[in-house]
Amino acid sequence: TYVVTENCIRCKYTDCVEVCPVDCFYEGPNFLVIHPDECIDCGLCEPECPADAILHEDDLADEQQPYVELNAELAEVWPNITERKAPLDDAEEWNGKEDKLKYLER
Ligand code: SF4
Ligand code: F3S
């Protein structure tokens, strides 16, 4: 399965949802997640993210491993998102910033 990782936080560009053939993205206030049981591993979303936040689970760095569980957990509680919307206001400013996990809103 593919996983949304830290750099989506406070950016939420949503380009990813536009290409997903199975609509398996779920939306929180400042982050998106992929439902691991619904993702069909097509890989279409990965190159679409301007923040390079989407990776296959096998390509995650050690420090990104917690995002596997975080995607699974939050996909169960957040609503589905299927259409692109405007990024968050400060998306460009936050793109690439480190240590964004502490800003994750649930
Ligand atoms: Fe959707 Fe394909 Fe991305 Fe999985 S890999 S989230 S199915 S676009
Ligand atoms: Fe997030 Fe990238 Fe999608 S920033 S909302 S994973 S396009």
Give per-residue pLDDT as tens, 48-74: 999 999 999 999 999 999 999 999 999
- Residue located nearest, by CA, to atom 8 of ligand 1: 20
The reply to whether the predicted model has a pTM over 0.95 is: yes
Q: What is the mean pLDDT of residues 81-96?
A: 98
Amino acid (one-letter) located at 94 = W
Task: Please report, for the chain, the start and end positions of each structural domain, with discontinuous segments joined by +.
Answer: 2-84
- Residue located nearest, by CA, to atom 1 of ligand 1: 20
ipTM of the complex: 0.99
Whole-number pLDDT of residue 28 = 98
Q: What is the mean pLDDT of residues 8-37?
A: 98
**Taking CA 82 as the corner, what is the angle to CA 79 and CA 84, rounded to the nearest 5 degrees?**
115
- Average pLDDT of the chain is 98
Query: At the topology level of CATH, where does 2-84 sit?
Result: Alpha-Beta Plaits (3.30.70)
Q: Which of 106, 99, 92 is nearest to 11 (CA)?
A: 92
- For ligand 1, is residue 2 a contact (CB within 6 Å)? yes
CB atoms within 10 A of CB 25: 25
3-class SS at 83?
coil
CA–CA separation, 25 and 21 (whole Å): 10
Q: What is the mean pLDDT of residues 27-51?
A: 98
